[in-house]
A and B are shown apart, each in its own frame.
Chain A
Amino acid sequence: MNSIVQYIQSYLASDKTPGAAGNMFWALVYIMLVFVGLSVAVIAMNWLERKILAHMQVRLGPMRVGPHGLLQPIADAIKLLLKEDIIPAEADGLIFWMAPFIVVLAAFTVFVVVPFGPTHAITDMNIGILFMLGVSSLSVLGIVMAGWASNSHYPLIGALRSSAQMVSYEVAMGLAVVSAILMTSLNATGTGTLSMIGIVQAQQAQGEWFIFKFFPLGLIAFFIFAVAMVAETNRAPFDLAEAESELTAGFHTEYSGFRWSLFFLAEYSAMIAVSSIAVTLWLGGWLRPFPNLLSGGIWELVFSFFPGVTFLFFAAICFYNTVRMPKHPLFRIQTIGLAAFGVVLALIGLVLFIPAVSMRVQDIFWFATKVAAFMYLYIWYRGTFPRYRFDQLMQMGWKVLLPMGLGVLILTASVALLQQKLWHP
């Protein structure tokens, strides 16, 4: 008994990820945490997308289920789970059945290496970024299978479109990633790293986010990645695979109920996954703003307040809206619900002010904030842009992003080589 407790406690003192430390128990705990956190994030994202998009479009969005529609995603989830699960008669049953699972599997597995903090990752792999790209490229398989197995024209065209699109943009994406990885090799040993944690540590060591490195080379690489990642996740303005005005719903036209919701889940977790790659490679991962410039005890203290203050701010918004709720008996439950939600947020915020907690959780907060900014960008795109046409999309991928990526890669390599030669003549 004692040894088990010791085994569990031993990790807390370690500065490695549970995977690297070889601690099975904490690895499992982390897997559960990531899984639950991701599911909550997808649910929150669902609500936020509808709400933000609605306000961009001068309407209110969900307002009925719960205060300000807060419970809408849950209602939707229940609806989807209770819906009839239809498999078309002419469909290839086994493949039709497997496809959504492969997509979800690929979308969730990548989070094994996502570094939410120096110790907050399930494991740190030597080939971390390669693993992420590789596994996320497997989701194409699921989409192709879904489109083909439906045995219907619209899904087939949707699947062909999305797989062609994803395979094409992976090339540009890979080049952008390589140019960021090249930047990690600017240290005394001259060797870079593919490890996600190593990449962030390299940015810390060099005192610069890679987006600002070799200005404007890092910025261009980041831009290429930012465009390619939207295409990679089949989101507006690159959502041709599910362009509802053309192909009704693309590859998941024939899916319904639970299976459809799996595609939905996969889409959003894939969005979070690619955003976390971008954050890790260019935006300093878990690093707080100005870790070197504004260092020292006081600044550490100030920045450690941020997570708590953010949650208190959200709680304040909740309370403000509680006060503004219509004073009508029908709204009583909603008002109480909103107040309770605010209280929960405020409590979380207060807990985050405890120094021990805030030190441990700060990294996750900064990482999540950066990812959330990307998520907002995704919604913003969707509200603003029309949809690209397929040939224009391909043209953009192969004739604009790919040459740009190659150019940036070559320039980055040259500059990096030059700098190394100057350092070690």
Chain B
Amino acid sequence: MTESDSALSHLDLETPEKPFLDANELVINMGPQHPATHGVLRVILRLDGEKVLGLECVIGYLHRGVEKIGEHRTYTMFNPYVDRMDYVAAVSNGLGYCETIEKLLNVEAPPRAQYVRVILTELNRIASHQLWLGTHALDIGAITPLFYTFRDREEILKIYEKYCGARLTTHAFRIGGLQYETYAGFEQDVRNFLNFFLPKIDEYEELLTTNRIWVERTRNVGIISGKDCIALGVTGPVLRASGVKWDLRKAQPYANYKNFDFDIPIGQNGDTYDRYLVRVAEMRQSVRIIEQAVEAIPEGPIMAKVPKVIKPAVGEVYHSIEAPKGELGYFVVSDGSTQPYRVRVRPPSFVNLQALDKMCRGQLVADVIAVIGTLDIVLGEVDR
């Protein structure tokens, strides 16, 4: 009890110092239409000059009732909907959903499907981190990285397009495996991409990692300790940058991640700069995983034996995966019919966004922008 109390106590608002010149406390409404709130996040800032006294997030502008929709669609029909939540990491969402239902049905996707899933999911992680890097740098004022990362993300999207016809909301996986066999030359395309991409990471780093202004803008900004992260439920690269070596791919391996050899990059200070380094390092690790997967990809069927009409037995399952943004969980309750009785999505962005207030207090307005960027939120997932 005492420990949790202390976790709360420094979340309380300190009494602000009496401002100079009796200036009124300034309340600024940032968003929902604001260039740096990544969609329709609305942040109400209380400022003393430029210093943030506190902030409140107002969300829900993009609420589409995904969970309600899930209750009115069959298991198969709901699959494309999950792509629309975190639309920059649609493949990860699909993987989480398919694996949850597979768990409910007690089937397992065949090995070949598992390998293709891992390749596509890790490519998706790279794409998501690229998009994050570009927009984050843009928020801090560096416009050029955005174009570099988008140029390279295009190559990933091309692979998706060749594989399943869609680029963003791919609907790549089916319950029980894959619908499509990989196209001829898929492996070669992936290998070509990896060879193309590794030097590009160095290019991003060259632009930013040692850039004095970048370091000054991000180091010691939005610090959050590992303890606070856990207390607030923050996961993903944000947690790892705070020094907690925890990744669901290692902690509770799903798909066939246990077959691959990769490291979990962690940071020390839990500041924006560390989160940047962690994400860049994660891109390299993803490349490592894909390299191994593409070499070891076995032949065989791509679809497990799944009935045409999916009717799981009565029961409930919680399953979570390591999405690019953190722990993405699905809690599905089945009542034995063809439609899920309840689908609950545990969105990483939603929970991570809670830490914004803690990370921004006492910082400057410009830091709020940096911190919103570094949390890597997607409003489609926050609001669902």
Contacts and interface: CB of A to CB of B under 8 A. Distances in A.
A388 B213 contact: yes
A245 B141 contact: yes
Contact of B144 (A56, A246, A387, A390): A56
A57 B216 contact: no
B68 interface: no
Contacts, number: 82
Contacts of A389: 216-217, 364, 366-367
B40 interface: no
A4 B232 CA distance: 85
A237 B216 CA distance: 13
Nearest to B36: A245
A386 B211 contact: yes
A384 B143 CA distance: 8
- Say what secondary structure dominates the interface of chain B: helix
Nearest to B137: A386
A310 to B, nearest CB: 29
A385 B211 contact: yes
Nearest to A247: B365
A220 B144 CA distance: 29
B148 A386 contact: no
Interface in A14-67: 53, 56-59
A384 B144 contact: yes
A236 interface: yes
B138 interface: yes
A382 interface: yes
A403 to B, nearest CB: 19
Interface string A214-257: 00000000000000000000001101100111101000000000
B317 interface: no
A157 interface: yes
A246 B366 contact: yes
A246 B151 contact: no
A248 B364 CA distance: 16
A57 B26 contact: no
A237 B212 CA distance: 11
Interface in B201-217: 207-208, 211, 213-214, 216-217
Contacts of A390: 50, 364, 366
A58 B138 contact: no
A392 interface: yes
Contacts of A248: 34-35
A153 interface: yes
Given A244-B35, A387-B217, A388-B213, A153 B141 contact: no
Interface residues of A, number: 28
B28 interface: yes
A245 B143 CA distance: 11
Given A157-B50, A240-B366, A244-B35, A58 B140 contact: no
Contact of B138 (A53, A59, A245, A383): A245
Interface in A246-270: 246, 248
Interface string B346-377: 00000000000000000011110100000000
Given A157-B50, A383-B144, A237 B365 contact: no
Contact of B213 (A239, A385, A391): A385
Contacts of B26: 153, 157
B139 interface: yes
B366 A58 contact: no
A58 B151 contact: yes
A248 B369 CA distance: 12
A387 B140 contact: yes
Contacts of A246: 36, 365-366, 369
A385 B26 CA distance: 30
18 contacts: A58-B148, A157-B26, A157-B365, A245-B35, A246-B36, A384-B211, A385-B211, A386-B142, A386-B208, A386-B213, A387-B140, A387-B366, A389-B216, A389-B217, A389-B366, A389-B367, A390-B364, A390-B366
Q: Which 5 A-B pairs have the closest CB atoms?
A: A387-B141, A245-B36, A57-B147, A386-B142, A386-B141
